[in-house]
């Protein structure tokens, strides 16, 4: 109740600042043409010059609701700025080419598109520092970008912010084989790090479907979860240190490689999950687990959700220390994958079951683990928890099971428009939301539920042939209110980005959010780093 009231207060205050029509669905829109809107609103704090600057933007596919306004205190780029950047980065790393800008201005889901005119590709921390120092002095807004695989519009500009892409900083600096400590630059692609560690006999503590494109800097800035969290824990436990550049160009060297260091406040945790709004992460130091030889994976079918839950409890108890992943998918999710992706076949073709569970175990003794897994699965089958299942006999079969689970986001993209929600909920209640949404949406859209059951994380996805306001209205804010009511998180691992910037009150109290805003003002007084995202707009002065 408290949070709901806070959210309504927030909307009312937004209304008074922006002074335009208000719609019950809180969402963002921006459009590109100049229009009579410019005459109707009262500027906040005066403009410098509008020129061809776009004051308001509409979102690509969706409807008009609350509008984001370009912060007038940010400057616009001029030719002096471009020359300066060319001087410090070299001609090649200052990109103004329209085609290349098109790609970096648009997010992976093709849902958010900015209109940045400049992409910078620094190759070292020093260059990042010089860029930010200059942008801070000129009051130029900046969007830090890595692999651009984020799902909440946090990695692309909203207006004409300068994009600083750290992809060229992709060196592995060192690897300590005894401790398994990897130090690398933020632009390293996750899959490349996985291959490198594979040769050394180690693995990355996180793994996600986007590994072919996502970069470790982005993973760290989003505090990415992924498929192995149930075994190796979150990045808060695995990141031993990082180096970040603050908005004023100061380089914060917190790149420790120590497991234990209780000297003062541990600032690196602030940056983990700050989504680039407190500083640009340039180097990361990670603890990597050793690669264990025996990996087994089973793909199982359950007849209802309560069986899935009981299976999870049994798995944690019977498989114990060897359990390394526990994912679930519902019937609709598997159906979509089989339909839209090539080269994927159903491991349980006999019939379509209601729920599918993927269990992976990782241990050091092949025969021991195999026996343990088989015993657990057979007893679960006898107990009626599983209606059918297969165990992978070789690595190829194992990859094909993972392809089904990791391929769901891709299949959803291909199926048309998708509304994505990433929620943390109590495990017993989790699927009730999916059922509720199915009732609410009826024939309008297809509701798909899957996710990291082991971590209590549901990925609720609503697939429709195209984006439609009628559908959006039925989803939001119902989903957030439902989550809030169960004291869940409206963003388990994806972050807030632009999509949920004003929704934080559903999961955090106003007092905590006020402190967050103070910290933001302390580290980035001009608010140039990734503006309009993460924290509610009313808190920015």
Partner 1 sequence: MKIMVAVKRVVDYAVKIRVKPDKTGVETQNVKMSMNPFCEIALEEALRIKEAGLAKEVVAVSMGPANCVDTLRTGLAMGADRGIHVEAARELVPLTVAKVLKRLVEVENPGLLILGKQAIDDDCNQTGQMIAGLLGWPQGTFASKVVLDKEKQVATVDREVDGGLETLCLDLPAVITTDLRLNQPRYATLPNIMKAKSKPIKKYTPEELNVEIKSDLEVVQVTEPPKRKAGVILSSVDELIDKLKTEACVI
Hey, how many other C-beta atoms are within 10 angstroms of the C-beta on 75? Answer: 15
Helix (H, G, I), strand (E, B), or coil: what is residue 452? strand
Least distance to partner 1 from the beta carbon of 381, Å? 6
With CB under 8 A as the contact rule, which of the stretches 133-141, 214-222, 375-383, 486-494 interacts with partner 1?
Answer: 375-383
- Asked if the bond preceding 477 is cis, omega within 30° of 0, the reply is yes
Least distance to partner 1 from the beta carbon of 373, Å? 10
Least distance to partner 1 from the beta carbon of 187, Å? 23
Residue-by-residue DSSP string for 424-459: E--TTTHHHHHHHHHHHHTTS-EEEEEEEGGGTEEE
Task: Measure the CA–CA gap between 481 and 39, rounded to whole angstroms.
Answer: 36
Least distance to partner 1 from the beta carbon of 389, Å? 4
Residue-by-residue DSSP string for 325-345: EEEEEEHHHHHHHHHHSTT--
Placement of tokens 């990791």 in the chain: 406
Least distance to partner 1 from the beta carbon of 393, Å? 5
Task: Identify the residue among 314, 335, 388, 473 touching partner 1 (CB under 8 A).
Answer: 388
Eight-class DSSP state of 78: -
| Burial degree of 69 (CB within 10 A; 0-12, 13-18, 19+) | buried
Nearer Cβ to partner 1 (291/486): 291
User: Are 437 and 460 spatial neighbours (Cβ–Cβ below 8 Å)?
Assistant: yes
Task: Measure the CA–CA gap between 534 and 512, rounded to whole angstroms.
Answer: 14
- Beta strands 119-120 and 162-165: pairing type? parallel
Least distance to partner 1 from the beta carbon of 395, Å? 4
Nearer Cβ to partner 1 (325/392): 392
Task: Measure the CA–CA gap between 516 and 74, rounded to whole angstroms.
Answer: 22
Nearer Cβ to partner 1 (361/491): 361
Least distance to partner 1 from the beta carbon of 444, Å? 36
Placement of tokens 């209110």 in the chain: 481
Q: Residue 457: beta bridge partners?
A: 424, 452
Task: Measure the CA–CA gap between 58 and 502, rounded to whole angstroms.
Answer: 17
With CB under 8 A as the contact rule, which of the stretches 20-28, 37-45, 275-283, 287-295 interacts with partner 1?
Answer: 287-295
Task: Measure the CA–CA gap between 64 and 23, rounded to whole angstroms.
Answer: 8
Q: Which of residues 288-327 bind partner 1 (CB under 8 A)?
A: 293-295, 298-300
Least distance to partner 1 from the beta carbon of 214, Å? 23
With CB under 8 A as the contact rule, which of the stretches 219-227, 279-287, 322-330, 394-402 interacts with partner 1?
Answer: 394-402
User: Are 380 and 311 spatial neighbours (Cβ–Cβ below 8 Å)?
Assistant: yes
Task: Measure the CA–CA gap between 203 and 190, rounded to whole angstroms.
Answer: 11
The residues near 99 (Cβ < 8 Å, ≥ 6 apart) are none
With CB under 8 A as the contact rule, which of the stretches 384-392, 430-438, 492-500, 532-540 interacts with partner 1?
Answer: 384-392
The residues near 507 (Cβ < 8 Å, ≥ 6 apart) are 3, 483, 484, 488, 489, 490, 491
Least distance to partner 1 from the beta carbon of 386, Å? 7
64 forms part of the interface with partner 1 (CB under 8 A): no
* Pick from 476, 419, 470, 416: nearest CA to 442: 470
366 forms part of the interface with partner 1 (CB under 8 A): yes
Nearer Cβ to partner 1 (79/393): 393
Q: Which residues of 334-347 are buried (b: 16+ CB within 10 A; e: fewer)?
A: bbbbbebeeebeeb
Least distance to partner 1 from the beta carbon of 375, Å? 11
The site for partner 1, by CB under 8 A, has a size of: 29
Distances (CA, A) of 533 to 114, 433, 520: 13, 27, 12
Task: Measure the CA–CA gap between 137 and 331, rounded to whole angstroms.
Answer: 54
Question: Binding mask 196-215 vs partner 1 (x if CB under 8 A, - otherwise)?
Answer: --xx----------------
Task: Measure the CA–CA gap between 272 and 73, rounded to whole angstroms.
Answer: 28
With CB under 8 A as the contact rule, which of the stretches 110-118, 351-359, 372-380, 465-473 interacts with partner 1?
Answer: 372-380
Task: Measure the CA–CA gap between 212 and 308, rounded to whole angstroms.
Answer: 30
Least distance to partner 1 from the beta carbon of 390, Å? 4
Q: Residue 362: beta bridge partners?
A: 295
Task: Identify the residue among 79, 263, 367, 443 touching partner 1 (CB under 8 A).
Answer: 367
Task: Measure the CA–CA gap between 301 and 308, rounded to whole angstroms.
Answer: 9
Question: Binding mask 29-58 vs partner 1 (x if CB under 8 A, - otherwise)?
Answer: ------------------------------
Nearer Cβ to partner 1 (34/92): 92
Eight-class DSSP state of 68: P
Least distance to partner 1 from the beta carbon of 201, Å? 9
Question: Binding mask 396-435 vs partner 1 (x if CB under 8 A, - otherwise)?
Answer: xx-x------------------------------------
Task: Identify the residue among 163, 181, 197, 391 touching partner 1 (CB under 8 A).
Answer: 391
Least distance to partner 1 from the beta carbon of 534, Å? 40
With CB under 8 A as the contact rule, which of the stretches 87-95, 104-112, 391-399, 441-449 interacts with partner 1?
Answer: 391-399
Task: Measure the CA–CA gap between 86 and 92, rounded to whole angstroms.
Answer: 8
Number of H helices, E strands in the chain: 19, 18
Least distance to partner 1 from the beta carbon of 401, Å? 9
Nearer Cβ to partner 1 (51/343): 343
With CB under 8 A as the contact rule, which of the stretches 57-65, 86-94, 316-324, 390-398 interacts with partner 1?
Answer: 390-398
Task: Identify the residue among 77, 381, 415, 539 touching partner 1 (CB under 8 A).
Answer: 381
193 forms part of the interface with partner 1 (CB under 8 A): no
Question: Binding mask 325-354 vs partner 1 (x if CB under 8 A, - otherwise)?
Answer: --------------------x-xx------
Interface with partner 1 (CB under 8 A): 198-199, 293-295, 298-300, 345, 347-348, 366-367, 374, 377-378, 381, 386, 388-397, 399
């Amino acid at each position: 109740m408290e949070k709901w009231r806070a959210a309504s207060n927030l909307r009312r205050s937004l209304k008074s600042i922006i002074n335009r029509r208000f719609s019950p669905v809180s969402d963002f829109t921006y459009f590109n043409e100049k229009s009579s809107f410019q005459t109707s609103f009262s500027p906040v704090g005066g403009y410098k010059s509008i020129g061809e600057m776009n004051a308001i933007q509409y979102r690509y596919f969706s409807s008009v609701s609350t509008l984001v306004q370009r912060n007038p205190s940010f400057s616009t780029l001029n030719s002096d700025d471009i020359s300066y950047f060319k001087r410090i980065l070299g001609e090649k790393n200052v990109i103004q080419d329209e085609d290349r800008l098109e790609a970096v201005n648009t997010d992976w889901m093709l849902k958010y598109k900015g209109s940045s005119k400049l992409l910078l590709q620094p190759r070292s921390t020093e260059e990042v520092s010089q860029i930010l120092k200059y942008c801070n002095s000129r009051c130029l807004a900046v969007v830090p970008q890595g692999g651009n695989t984020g799902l909440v519009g946090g990695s692309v500009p909203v207006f004409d912010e300068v994009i600083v892409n750290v992809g060229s900083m992709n060196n592995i600096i060192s690897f300590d084989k005894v401790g398994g400590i990897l130090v690398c630059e933020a632009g390293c692609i996750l899959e490349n790090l996985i291959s490198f560690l594979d040769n050394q006999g180690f693995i990355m503590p996180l793994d996600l479907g986007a590994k072919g494109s996502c970069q470790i800097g982005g993973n760290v800035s989003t505090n990415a979860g992924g498929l192995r969290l149930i075994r190796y824990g979150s990045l808060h436990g695995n990141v031993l240190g990082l180096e970040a550049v603050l908005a004023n160009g100061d380089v914060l060297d917190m790149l420790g490689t120590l497991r234990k260091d209780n000297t003062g406040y541990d600032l690196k945790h602030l940056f983990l999950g700050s989504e680039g709004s407190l500083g640009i992460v340039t180097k990361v130091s990670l603890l990597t687990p050793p690669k264990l030889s025996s990996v087994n994976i089973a793909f199982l079918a359950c007849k209802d959700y309560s069986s899935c839950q009981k299976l999870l409890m049994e798995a944690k108890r019977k498989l114990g220390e060897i359990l390394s992943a526990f994912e679930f998918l519902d019937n609709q999710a598997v159906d979509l994958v089989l339909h839209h992706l090539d080269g994927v076949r159903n491991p349980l073709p006999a019939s379509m079951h209601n729920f599918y569970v993927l269990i992976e175990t990782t241990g050091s003794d092949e025969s021991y683990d195999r026996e343990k897994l088989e015993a657990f699965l057979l007893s679960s089958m006898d107990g009626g928890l599983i209606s059918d299942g297969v165990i992978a006999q070789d690595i190829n079969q194992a990859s094909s099971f993972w392809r089904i689970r990791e391929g769901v986001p891709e299949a959803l993209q291909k199926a048309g428009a998708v509304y994505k929600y990433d929620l943390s909920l109590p495990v017993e209640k989790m699927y009730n939301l999916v059922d509720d949404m199915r009732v609410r949406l009826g024939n309008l859209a297809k509701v798909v539920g899957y996710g990291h059951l082991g971590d209590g994380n549901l990925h609720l996805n609503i697939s429709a042939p195209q984006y439609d306001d009628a559908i959006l209205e039925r989803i939001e804010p119902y989903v957030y209110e439902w989550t809030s009511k169960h004291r869940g998180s409206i963003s388990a691992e994806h972050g807030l980005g632009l999509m949920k910037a004003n929704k934080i009150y559903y999961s955090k109290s106003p007092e905590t959010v006020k402190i967050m805003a103070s910290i933001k003002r302390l580290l980035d007084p001009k608010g140039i780093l990734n503006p309009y995202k993460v924290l509610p707009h009313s808190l920015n002065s």
